[in-house]
Amino acid sequence: MIKTINFRTLGCRLNHAESDSIQYGLHMAGYQIVGDKTAADLTIINSCAVTQQAEAKTRGAIAVARRISPHGKIAVIGCYAQLSPEVVADLKGVNLILGNSEKYRIQDLLDILEKGQKEIHVARIVGGDTFPPLGLISKGSRTRAHMKVQEGCDYRCAYCIIPLLRGSTRSRNLQSCVDEAVMLREQGFKEIVLSGINIGTYRDSEQDFSDLVSAILSKSDIERLRISSIEPDLLTDRLIELMRSEPRLCRHFHIPLQHGSNEVLGWMRRRYKAELFFDLVNNLFQNIPGVCIGTDVLVGFPGESEKHFNEMMSLLEQLPLAYFHVFRYSARPGTAAVGLNDSVPIQIKKERSEALRLLSDRKRNHFLRQFNGADLSVLIEKKSKLGLYRGLSDNYITVNVKSDNQIVNNIRIIRITDIGIAEVQGELIGG
Ligand code: SF4
């Protein structure tokens, strides 16, 4: 009899938002959700297949689940299950395999596991309404809620498998997003993170992503709204103006660049040139004081030469970026690039991604040092083991602070006194 369930979630923010929603639904249905290091009757693994490394990590998570819950059942859901259902089904210990259209129905399929059967439920074409029902939003932490507002993607970047795994772009109804924001505020959440796959393509009839952001800000009194990630060619002047003028919209943009060479961007079938990204980042930096701008970069795309790589390094050197997420190219089935000769040796890929990580660390520290002595608005999320309270500023800085009072889920002004490698420490202002 399945009573206890734990989760292992891999991959993107959206996967984490979806796991939280499914977890909340099972909790409301009476199942006991336990930590991922606690033995459980069922382990649900929300998988990722964006790279070959991600697939390997999913297989690793399955092995860990078997070790922690030797008598438990395992359900693998999401992108790896969607891409290779038979391969996943053959992995030892796996009982239920659900694709991206079916994962929200897991609650209705648990009886299959009770009967000890093994089943695959994966629609070849992903589509339809794969949004969590109203009120079943992620409740991972009591301070921040991830709201899935958009799904799928119609872009066809040459290296990317996501459109094949998540289907074409579709958006959640704007009014239901506003209703959810009002409900989350009433439940005590202080921040909502708007999540999707290609969020800038959000559309609800004539209303676009800026309309959604503006509607949530004007029709709910949520204290903070954060945008998870947005493509450079979809970041509109209206959105920049909203962020410049609306203090509740967190000063944080994550804008995937992928590469700094126009030739490689062309091969990747990205929809902009490096110059657009250069102008956009400088425009944000000049118009939104204290803004945190992060990016994604991909090394080792077929044909990438030392010259291409140096073009990227020089572009990133010049830009006021605060951090990069660095990925190594790996060929993905069904993508336009899969047929290209994967010409960059793995050792070179490793060296180039290491060089980018070191540059990202330097940029991060340079960004943090700007706030020494400054006051930041911080949402306190938890009390760390060291007895310090820990939170995130609106501009994506992790801040630690001492307090005699319990301040979790409070937004407090903190004066920054110490700058660390990747975090800062400060003092509470105003008691
Ligand atoms: S925009 Fe490109 S990289 Fe992003 S999900 Fe769509 S195809 Fe993939």
**Distance of CA 358 from the midpoint of ligand 1 (Å):** 26
Asked if 113 contacts 76 with a C-beta cutoff of 8 angstroms, the reply is no
Residue entry with tokens 């920049």: 240
CA-CA-CA-CA torsion sign (196, 201, 203, 207): positive
d(CA 347, CA 19): 35
Distance 420 CA to ligand 1 centre (A): 34
**Which among 198, 255, 257, 259 is the best mutation to test ligand 1's pocket, defined by most ligand atoms within 8 Å of the CB?**
198
Dihedral sign for Cα 54, 20, 125, 160, please.
negative
376 φ, ψ to 5°? Answer: -120, 145
Could you tell me how many helices (H) and strands (E) the chain has, helices first?
A: 13, 21
Q: Exposed (0-12), middle (13-18) or buried (19+): which is 250, by Cβ within 10 Å?
A: buried
- What is the residue with the minimal CA distance to atom 8 of ligand 1? 160
Q: What is the pLDDT of residue 431?
A: 55
Length of the chain: 431
CA distance 27 to 8: 16
Ligand 1 centroid distance, CA of 153 (Å): 6
Mean pLDDT by 10 residues, the chain (431 residues): 94 88 90 94 96 94 96 96 96 95 90 84 80 61 84 96 95 95 92 96 97 98 96 97 96 98 98 98 97 98 97 98 96 94 93 98 97 97 86 97 90 96 91 55
β-bridge partners, 7: 44
Residue 156 alpha carbon, nearest atom of ligand 1: 7
Q: Which atom of ligand 1 is nearest to the CA of 163?
A: 7
Report the separation in Å between the CA atom of 256 and the middle of ligand 1, taken as the mean of its atom positions.
9
232 CB within 6 A, ligand 1: no
198 lines ligand 1 (CB under 6 A): yes
Whether the Cβ atoms of residue 119 and residue 109 lie closer than 8 Å to each other: yes
Angle between helices 274-287 and 237-245 (to 10 degrees): 20
Task: Pick the atom of ligand 1 nearest to 161's CA.
Answer: 8
CA distance 67 to 84: 23
Q: How many CB atoms lie within 10 A of CB 303?
A: 15
Q: Which of 186, 193, 224 is nearest to 377 (CA)?
A: 224
How far, in Å, is the centroid of ligand 1 from the Cα of 159? 9
Domains and CATH numbers, the chain: 4-121 (3.40.50.12160), 130-250 (3.30.750.210), 375-428 (2.40.50.140)
pTM, rounded to two decimals: 0.92
Cα(98)–Cα(101) distance, integer angstroms: 8
The residues with which 78 forms a beta bridge, in sequence order, are: 47
Contact predicate 102/128, CB 8 Å: no
pLDDT at 143: 83
Query: Rounded to the nearest whole angstrom, what is the distance from the C-alpha of residue 198 to the centroid of ligand 1?
Result: 7
Residue type (1 letter), 291: V
Give the helix/strand (H/E) hosting 382: strand 375-383
Closest CA to 304 of 314, 296, 312: 312
**Type of residue at 345:** P
Beta bridge mates, 356: none
Choice from 161, 162, 258, 268 to test ligand 1 binding pocket (greatest atom count within 8 A of CB): 162
Predicted local distance difference test score (pLDDT) of residue 342: 84
**Helical residues (DSSP H) of 232-333, grouped into ranges:** 237-245, 262-267, 274-287, 306-318
Q: Is the Cβ atom of 272 under 6 angstroms away from ligand 1?
A: no
Rounded to the nearest 10 degrees, the angle between the axes of helix 274-287 and helix 306-318 is: 10
61 phi, psi to nearest 5 deg:
-65, -35
Closest residue by Cα to atom 1, ligand 1, is 155
What's the rounded Cα separation, in Å, for the pair 13 and 417? 31
Residue nearest to atom 4 of ligand 1 (CA): 198
Q: Is 50 in the pocket of ligand 1 (CB under 6 A)?
A: no
* CB distance 197 to 150 below 8 Å: yes
| 262/273 Cα distance (integer angstroms) | 6
Locus of tokens 């949402």: 379
pLDDT, residue 141, reads 53
Q: What is the DSSP string of 121-174?
A: E--SS--S--SPPTT----SSSSEEEEE-EE------TT--HHHHH-S-EE--H
**Residue 161, both tokens:** 């498998």
